[in-house]
Structure 1
Amino acid sequence: MLAKRVTLALLAVRALSALASPVEHFTVQDSDRHQVSDSMCSDTESATAPTQNPEVRLDDGLFVGYRKGKTDNFLGIAFALPPTGDRRLRPPQPTRPYVGTHYVQEYGKSCPQQALTLPNAGDSQLMKDIGKVVDTLYEGITPSDEDCLTINVVKPSAAKPGSKLPVLVWIFGGGFEIGGPSTYDGATVVSRSLDLKQPVIFVSINYRLSALGFLPGKEVKDAKVGNLGLQDQRLALKWVQTYIEEFGGDPKKVTIWGESAGAISVSLHMLANNGNQEGLFRGAVMQSGGPIPVGDIEHGQQYYDFMVKETGCTHQPDTLDCLRKVPYNTFKRAMDASPNFFAYQGLVLAWLPRVDGVFLTEPPQYSVLRGHVSDVPVITGNCDDEGSLFSVSTKNISTNADMKDYLKLYMMPNAKDSEIDDLLVHYPDDPRAGSPFDTGLKNMLSPQFKRTAALQGDFVFHGPRRFFLKYRASKQNSWGFVWKRLKDTPFIGSAHATDLINSFGPGGELRDYIIRFTNNLDPNGREGLGIQWPKWDPAKPKALILQESALFPLIIGDDNYRSRALDYVANLSIRYPI
């Protein structure tokens, strides 16, 4: 039993987008690959194939990658000037034309990571196990550096300029606080795409995090330097438009794909520029993320003031300029001292995309209601128990009064008492109605744990997804899914990010659907492979359910769970954005 719990803990932690670090990559064994005769890989599997490193010329620069199986990998290519020195806390600037020879065979450094701390494990053996694994993995993260804006390209070895392959751009998650692309092995996706005879090129990008990427406050708004992490991503998408043809890609066939913070980022790229995607992408895939309920960037003023105080910039005439000039270690120590997503406030994150007047000009829900959305096909889904991992820190919430005080203090400080009372009617003090869902009286880590987990998961993940589909699925082709596997994991169930195992691991049905979607703008492809996945219909919503069943691992089920509760959550979110 202990071995099983440790294994589950490893799976949960390893799946966390927050731990997207250069530890062990997900890999697909050769025995798991199907033999195909597609011409795109016909000359790459031979034992006598040449082993010289692949090369790509960009501008006047020669980039030398490495070959892995049927794929060529080009890693750590700079797509922006280093955001260091006076470029700290400023929008990214594109690189100058490339010259010289560049060996791009290793991932670039991660962008500076916010220190991660787990809540007190108490008597939970599972959380103790996870805590040990987190400590071990976090110590092994590739050294971070402010000079981190790099991009990675993995292509079929036979792809060349003129191949015009569809492109899948991956945006990692990590709560906008930690993470990186290096754990997500794009070669597994590209290899599988060749097996399916649906070849794609895989691109992954770095972007600034925490206070360096998402600093809020009036000073930031006035200087027009908000949402720098999103601006990094946007510049990377423009790099793809400029250079992907040299790798054999088609800049007109780009799909953006993300999980957690990456999926939220995908949704916000769909809303930016009043919904005009500027030809940067033609499809979007969101795993555990959507148009979150955030408001004006000044709502985070307390975190700007915290950084100013902790770095010693309080009495400087220009505090933003001071933050640019303080030593990196001083800035990093202050950033590490700020709340992370395992803090008591949970998913009311310190460092979030917010309405800055430049990248985002209105709250995301407003954009959805007004139709300021990129009209592209969409896949969007959630894990069933999104809020469980982030509610372990709230074990001391034990009564109705505690629950109300918590919501009033963090999630909805401006809401009326009567509105919070009504909200709690939709989320009753009954563990059988809480998360992990459908587990009865099990998983009661504390009296209010399952209730808190349900609320947090619905506010940040389930609510935004269903809100988007409710108002957009009749206007743009959309497909929904719900991940219900690993439900027997103690306390956390089908937790946030556990679906990543299916996206990048062997035998991943989600990965196959996403590959076909990238090629055909339809997850079913043109051959109807796998179980037929219907479009989401507001009149009769259906979703793909990935469940723990040997006979029926995939089913099509109703996507109308907690409808009244999620509608109420959406209404409160519009009135009281974070």
Structure 2
Amino acid sequence: MFGLRSLTLFILTGLSSSLASILRAQGSPFVILDKGIFAGKSINHTDQYLGIPYAQPPVGDLRFRLPVAAGPYDGFYNATMFGDVCPQDGDSLIAASGAAYLEPFEALFYETFPTPNITQSEDCLSLNVYVPAGTKPGANLPVVMWLSPASFLFGGGPFFDGAVIVEHSVKINQPVILVSINYRLNAFGFLPGREAKDAGITNLGLRDQRQALRWIQQYIFGFGGDKRRVTVWGANSGSISAGFQMLNNGGDSEGLFSGAWMQSGIPLPLNTYSDLQGTYDILVNKTSCQGSSDSLDCLRKIPFDELYEAMLSAPAAERFGRWQIVLDYDFIAQQPETLLSQGKVARVPFIISCTDDEGTLGALNLTSITTDNGTATWIMDEGLPGVSMEQVEQIFALYPSDPAAGSPFDTGDLYAITPQYKRLAAIIGDIEYHSQRRFFLNHTSGQQNAWSYLSKQFKIPYVGSVDLSDLLNIWGPGDLTDRLINFVATGNPNHGSGVYWPQWTISAPHQLNIHNDSSFTVEDDDFRAEGIELLMALNIQHPE
């Protein structure tokens, strides 16, 4: 773009205006934040600014610390490449016995979301800003912050091309800005235990997200964004995160966001930080910090590779339960259902959704279970730990082993991988997704505008409309994309054409259904009502 020697001269002499003139003459997009110049790149109709640090690198003594704001910026920043993603592991989290059934969905998913060429490191707290080409400060475009999946174990902003959404917004004459972020994952972002609680560093990944929202408030004007119109959008763990941002701080959003779009992830009843003390202890005992008088201080000082290997020492499937959001009585003051019942939730408009067959992914890890007794044992030990056999029998009465009643739903006797697979998939999906969605709606819809949808699209053999399959529509882009963009812009997903999507209310729980042929209908959200109500009540008493 220009010679390193001349660039160095500009930086050393402080001639930022001259540097800006060169970038402008070359047609290179750039923004000025504080005294820093960020040079991005333009592709098609989108200006992209990648890898911008929104917090100081959480390395050295800042490992396992609250995020510290980046800036003020000064000098030149090359914003044409993604920053590193946060430490993670790409191993499959689906048991080998069930992984083959997921291959058709994975083929569709990776066709839509090609794996980017990126690296990982602790220095990962960066974000990416996608802007309609040529947008200037003062344009006041609405903003959506994307929180990617999955499971607080892997992922990050670079895995999703924000230009897809921005390009489509320009096409339909409703331009928006998209910001995608990295936040700390695994042990680096979700360290439990008394030591983490005493240091005030529980749920660091959620605190990173909050810091990114503060960054948007401070800097998005420079990109042409409107800080008053910021929608938090996520799927799976990103959706759960959006829900907890709504529940943080007694429901006071601090003006950081004006709406939320949540897909296939809702705040669940939580383990406390002390419930997972064993997770912290195992991590320490897998390192040279074993026996240390100050184990947390020791964890901050050991080499990255040692900590990383200790973090991954557990089998992949076990990490779901180890590195997770915890009830810390701080960032999350009380159980989510308690906060919702008390009205301690941000009063912003929101969308909340599920796919039809959310539970099939979880059931693929349980194909060794083939009998009623095996399913009962799993429910009592893992699904709803501590429930009685009498309560299991109540669940069985509402969720029979008949494959035609199970998930994938509406597939008759097809796809029964084991005699219990479809029953388990129905129970898991209703415990972790559908019951939580309804509970969230029942305790918010009377106070704020709320919409819900159910995706029955992409019905794939054996796994059905599996968790995250609606991303194939919205990032396609598809029919849902217009509704997302309109919601970001106006706080209402209806855009004046197609099927009208009514709000969800307790008296009229209307839901938008997306069918396998991509058609839309509006139907009452009352499927499996008795079973879902039972599972929610038990889940509150017995969090997984």
Tell me the TM-score normalized by structure 1: 0.86
Where 2:443 maps in the other structure, the secondary structure is helix
Deviations 1:15-47 (A, max 9, x none): xxxxxxxxxxxxxxxxxxxxxxxxxxxxxxxxx
Q: Could you tell me which runs of 5 or more consecutive residues in structure 1 were left unpaired when the two chains were aligned.
A: 1-48
- Picking from 56, 65, 77, the partner of 2:31 is 56
Alignment of 1:566 onto 2:541: no
Alignment of 1:542 onto 2:510: yes
State the Cα distance separating 1:51 from its structure 2 match.
6.0
Deviations 1:407-454 (A, max 9, x none): 222222233332233223222222212111111111111121111111
Where 1:91 maps in the other structure, the secondary structure is coil
Residue 562 of structure 1 aligns with an amino acid whose one-letter code is: R
Deviations 1:62-116 (A, max 9, x none): 0000111221110100011111112111111111310001110111111011342
Number of equivalences:
520
Residue 482 of structure 1 aligns with an amino acid whose one-letter code is: L
Matches of 1:416 and 1:493, distance apart in 2: 31
Alignment of 1:338 onto 2:314: yes
Deviations 1:198-233 (A, max 9, x none): 111111111000111111112211221100000000
Alignment of 1:499 onto 2:470: yes
Structure 1 residues 485 and 132: CA distance shift in structure 2, 3 A: closer
Shifted more, 278-287 versus 181-190: the winner is 181-190
Structure 1 residues 559 and 50: CA distance shift in structure 2, 3 A: farther
Structure 1 residues 132 and 572: CA distance shift in structure 2, 3 A: same
State the Cα distance separating 1:302 from its structure 2 match.
2.1
Residue 561 of structure 1 aligns with an amino acid whose one-letter code is: F
Task: Judge conservation of contact 2:94–2:364 (CA < 8 Å) in 1.
Answer: yes
Matches of 2:484 and 2:454, distance apart in 1: 15
Structure 1 residues 519 and 135: CA distance shift in structure 2, 3 A: closer
State the Cα distance separating 1:337 from its structure 2 match.
2.3
Alignment of 1:311 onto 2:287: yes
Deviations 1:489-527 (A, max 9, x none): 121110011111111113x111110100111110014xx
Deviations 1:274-303 (A, max 9, x none): 100000011100011112121322222221
Structure 1 residues 306 and 523: CA distance shift in structure 2, 3 A: same
Residue 521 of structure 1 aligns with an amino acid whose one-letter code is: G
Name the counterpart of 1:490: 461
Task: Judge conservation of contact 1:161–1:245 (CA < 8 Å) in 2.
Answer: yes
Alignment of 1:355 onto 2:331: no
Name the counterpart of 2:522: 556
Where 1:250 maps in the other structure, the secondary structure is strand
Structure 1 residues 138 and 358: CA distance shift in structure 2, 3 A: farther
Where 2:145 maps in the other structure, the secondary structure is strand
Alignment of 1:439 onto 2:405: no
- Picking from 364, 376, 401, the partner of 1:429 is 401
Matches of 2:165 and 2:25, distance apart in 1: 23
Task: Judge conservation of contact 1:295–1:363 (CA < 8 Å) in 2.
Answer: no
Task: Judge conservation of contact 1:118–1:131 (CA < 8 Å) in 2.
Answer: no
Task: Judge conservation of contact 1:58–1:98 (CA < 8 Å) in 2.
Answer: yes
Name the counterpart of 1:514: 484
Matches of 2:437 and 2:466, distance apart in 1: 16
Alignment of 1:380 onto 2:352: yes
Task: Judge conservation of contact 1:338–1:350 (CA < 8 Å) in 2.
Answer: no
Alignment of 1:392 onto 2:364: yes
Alignment of 1:103 onto 2:78: yes
Residue 400 of structure 1 aligns with an amino acid whose one-letter code is: D
- Picking from 44, 59, 69, the partner of 1:94 is 69
Matches of 1:117 and 1:559, distance apart in 2: 33
Structure 1 residues 339 and 423: CA distance shift in structure 2, 3 A: farther
Name the counterpart of 1:84: 59
Task: Judge conservation of contact 2:232–2:261 (CA < 8 Å) in 1.
Answer: yes
Task: Judge conservation of contact 2:98–2:365 (CA < 8 Å) in 1.
Answer: no
Name the counterpart of 1:452: 424
Matches of 1:499 and 1:135, distance apart in 2: 14
State the Cα distance separating 1:127 from its structure 2 match.
4.7
Name the counterpart of 1:42: none
Name the counterpart of 2:300: 324
Where 1:298 maps in the other structure, the secondary structure is coil
Tell me the TM-score normalized by structure 2: 0.91
State the Cα distance separating 1:128 from its structure 2 match.
6.5
Q: Could you tell me which runs of 5 or more consecutive residues in structure 2 were left unpaired when the two chains were aligned.
A: 1-23
Deviations 1:103-162 (A, max 9, x none): 101111110113423545448753577899999999976211000000111111232111
Matches of 1:81 and 1:518, distance apart in 2: 29
Deviations 1:221-248 (A, max 9, x none): 1221100000000000000000000111
Matches of 2:359 and 2:72, distance apart in 1: 45
State the Cα distance separating 1:312 from its structure 2 match.
3.5
Shifted more, 359-368 versus 442-451: the winner is 442-451
> Alignment RMSD, CA only?
2.3
Q: Which runs of structure 2 are paired with 1:151-166 in the superposition (5 Å)?
A: 151-166=127-142
Matches of 2:269 and 2:69, distance apart in 1: 31
State the Cα distance separating 1:306 from its structure 2 match.
1.6
